[in-house]
Chain A
Amino acid sequence: MSDPSLVALSAEHDLSGFDCGTPELDRWLIDHALASQKADLARTYLVLDGGSVAAYVSLTTGSIRPEAAPKRYARGMPRYPIPTILIARLAVDRRHQRQRLGSRLLAEALRLAVAASDTAATRLVVVDAIDDRAAAFYRRWGFIDVPENPNRLFRKIGDIRNSSP
């Protein structure tokens, strides 16, 4: 890979050949990413190598809340859901796998999450790991399992900020 660049998804990008080995992640990029972006449901960033899409990540917002209805909340328990920035999907094209591109893209996604939190404070980054292998990838980079939510992992924005070299 020469010198890849990170760009925000737009209508000009040709996504049709993307193949990461997980059809669900390919189809989402090819069929839904642009519509989700236009509807303000998710922001997608592409890694371009030459003209082709080498990887993508999509970011959105989410929350973590207790199951009880508000009136049943125990005394002292936070009453509101905790807002999160969600790394909903991250995928690397087969031709670019095993070169740490996914890790480098995760680092950029975390910088985007910190920047978003600098603008409108958010406490957590949550990642949605598509399978056990993806979950192991996030654990390797210091993410922690969200209790009771398989394949969802998190880290505090403050931890990310304080870990920047």
Chain B
Amino acid sequence: MSTGIRSRRIDVRVTVEQDAVIREAAAAAGQTVSAFLLSAAEGRARAVLDERRHLVMSDRAFAAFAAALDDPSEPVPALGELLSLPRIHRR
């Protein structure tokens, strides 16, 4: 999935049973244990991050939500107040 130099290590201790099941699954998938662990963990990691970034709605809620976005934008007093606070200047 990723390219780049593998310059970091992650050490994980496993039980005898976990070691056996992972080795068997890696062999079944035709991968080395290290490639198997890496692809499984990276896939899971990306799924967890995606879950936070990408939101899902029921079809009915999404249709109403998307339609409401076409309403004209209007000034929001609370946002106006927020944007009137003293600036934090870029450096």
Contact = CB atoms under 8 A, between A and B. Distances in A.
B52 A64 contact: no
Interface string A145-157: 0111100100110
Contacts of B69: 82, 123-124, 156
A104 interface: yes
A110 interface: yes
Contacts, number: 142
Given A67-B57, A77-B59, A163 B75 contact: yes
A110 B82 contact: yes
Contacts of B30: none
Contacts of B82: 103, 106-107, 110, 141-142
A104 B84 CA distance: 9
Interface of A: 3-7, 41, 47-48, 60-68, 72-74, 76-78, 81-82, 84, 86, 88, 100, 103-108, 110-111, 123-124, 126, 128, 140-142, 146-149, 152, 155-156, 158-165
B84 to A, nearest CB: 5
Interface in B56-85: 56-59, 61-66, 69, 73-85
Given A67-B58, A124-B69, A159-B79, 18 more contacts: A4-B88, A61-B53, A66-B57, A77-B66, A104-B88, A106-B82, A107-B83, A107-B87, A110-B79, A111-B83, A142-B76, A146-B65, A147-B64, A162-B73, A162-B74, A163-B75, A163-B76, A163-B79
Contact of B83 (A5, A7, A110, A148): A110
Contacts of A73: 59
